Amino acid sequence: MDARAARGVSATAVAEALEANRALVAELQGLEQSLMKEEAKLLAKTQAIRRRMALRRAQQAMDALLPRMQQNEKMMQRYERSPRTRNKTGVMPRSFIRQQASFFTDEEERERKVGRPKKKKQKTLELTGAEDEEQMRLRAVSEPPPNADTEFLRAHSHEAFVAGPPTIFSSRERKVVKEFAEDFYMTHSPNEEIPLQVWNGIHKWQGMRKSRQLPIERSGFACKLWYDLHESSTLRLCAWTKEEDAALRRLATGGVDPALVNQWHEIAKRMPIPGRPAAHCLTRYQTALCADNAKSGFTPEEDQILRQAVRFLGRSGT
C-alpha cells in the first residue's frame, strides 16, 4: 500500500512539473514574440531617422550650391504657380495609351482658343471717279473760325470726357477678386491677411491663367480694399444688433476709454463680436448712432442755406 501511495504521489509531482514547464515555455515564447516586435519597430525607426538625416544632408548640400532665397521670395514663387498645373484631389490623369477624348472616335481634341478674337481687317471700298472728286471737294472746304462757345468747349473738354473707373466693382471684377483670394488661401492659413504686395500681382496672376475674362482695370490697393470691406469670409455683414450698437456707442464716445475716441481701428478690435471693420464701425456711428445727428426734417432756413451752398460750391459733394 505504501509503495502504491508513493507511486501516486510521484506521478502527481511529475504531472505538475510538466504543466509548470509548459506554462514556462508558453511565457518564454510570448516574450520572444514581443521582443521580435520591438526589434522590428526599432529597426523601422532607425531606417526613418537615417532617411531624414540623408535628406537633411542633401538639402544642406543643395543650399550650399544654390543661392539662398528670402522667405518672401519663396512665398511669392510658390504662390505664382499657375492654378491649372496643380493636381486636384480625386482627379486621375487621362491614360497615355489612347490620347483621344473618346474611345468611339479618332478625332483629336483641339486646343481651345482663349482670349479676345482677332479683329477683322476692314475692307476698304474703292471709290469711283465721281465719289473721289466729291471727297476732294469736301476736304478743300475750310473750317469756319472758332467762336466763343467752341473755344470754351476745347478748353474744358478734358473735364467732361475723362473716364475713371467707378467705385463699385462690377460682378466680373468681384468674381476675379474672389477667385484670386481663394487661390491664395489654397496655400495659406484662412486667418492670414493677404498682404498688399500679393494684391499688386493680381494682373500678372490673371495673365498667367487661361481664361476668357478681360484683365481687371483696378490697382492692387483697390482690390485689397474691396475684398477686406465686402468679400472677406471673416466679415460680419448682417444687420447690426442692439448689443453691437450699445457697445459701439460706448467705445466711440469714450465711455470705456477716453483714449479710444476717433481710434476706429482699436474700436473695431474691441467690438464684442468680431467681423466689423473700422470703416463699417465709423459709417454706422456717423449715420445712425451719433447724438449730434438731426433726425427731423429740414427747416426753411436750412433749405435756403443749402441752396446758397450748392450755388457756390457745386453739386460734386467734395
Residue 293: give its domain's CATH number: 1.10.10
Give the chain's largest Cα–Cα span: 158
Residues 264 and 311 in one domain: yes
Q: Domain ends where: 204, 231, 258? A: 231
CA distances (Å), 291 to each of 73, 153, 219, 240, 256, in order? Answer: 50, 47, 37, 18, 17
CA distances (Å), 100 to each of 35, 91, 109, 112, 305, in order? Answer: 57, 18, 7, 15, 77
Q: What is the pLDDT of residue 212?
A: 54
Please state the domain count of the chain: 2
Q: What is the pLDDT of residue 317?
A: 54
Residues 187 and 247 in one domain: no
In a domain, 201, yes or no: yes
Residue-range definition of the domain harbouring residue 290: 236-317
215, 216, 218, 210: which is closest to 82 by C-alpha?
210
CB count in 10 Å sphere of residue 180: 20
CA distances (Å), 49 to each of 36, 60, 61, 63, 114, in order? Answer: 20, 16, 18, 21, 50
Amino acid symbol at 153: L
In a domain, 89, yes or no: no
Q: What is the pLDDT of residue 18?
A: 86
Q: Domain ends where: 183, 215, 231? A: 231
Q: What is the pLDDT of residue 203?
A: 86
- Measured CA to CA, the distance from residue 239 to residue 84 in angstroms comes to 39
Cell numbers representing residue 94 in the block: 487621362
Residues 218 and 196 in one domain: yes
In a domain, 220, yes or no: yes
Task: For the full predicted model, state whether its pTM sits above 0.85.
Answer: no
Residues 311 and 242 in one domain: yes
Q: What is the pLDDT of residue 120?
A: 72
Q: What is the pLDDT of residue 229?
A: 84
Residues 277 and 299 in one domain: yes
Residues 299 and 250 in one domain: yes
In a domain, 88, yes or no: no
Residues 186 and 216 in one domain: yes
263, 292, 289, 290: which is closest to 278 by C-alpha?
263
Asked whether the beta carbons of 156 and 149 are under 8 A apart, the reply is no
In a domain, 101, yes or no: no
Q: Domain ends where: 231, 254, 272? A: 231
Q: What is the number of H-type helices and E-type strands within the chain?
A: 12, 0
What is the Rg, in whole angstroms, of the alpha carbon atoms belonging to the chain?
41
Q: What is the pLDDT of residue 153?
A: 72
Cell numbers representing residue 185 in the block: 488661401
Alpha helices (H) in 66-190, listed in sequence order? 71-79, 129-140, 148-161, 171-184
CB count in 10 Å sphere of residue 271: 18
In a domain, 217, yes or no: yes
- Measured CA to CA, the distance from residue 294 to residue 230 in angstroms comes to 29
Per-residue pLDDT of the chain (318 residues; tens, 9 = 90+): 566 666 766 788 888 888 888 888 888 998 899 999 999 899 999 999 988 888 888 888 888 777 666 666 666 665 555 555 555 555 555 544 545 555 555 566 666 666 677 777 766 656 566 777 777 777 766 667 778 877 777 776 655 444 556 678 888 888 888 888 888 888 888 888 888 989 998 888 888 775 556 678 888 888 888 888 888 887 888 888 889 888 888 888 888 888 888 888 888 888 888 888 888 888 888 888 877 776 677 788 888 888 888 877 766 555
Q: Compute CA 39 distance to the chain's CA centroid, rounded to the nearest angstrom.
A: 49
Residues 246 and 224 in one domain: no
| Angle of CA points 113, 114, 120, to nearest 5° | 75
Amino acid symbol at 106: D
Q: What is the pLDDT of residue 142?
A: 67
Q: What is the pLDDT of residue 315?
A: 65
Q: What is the pLDDT of residue 71?
A: 61
In a domain, 119, yes or no: no
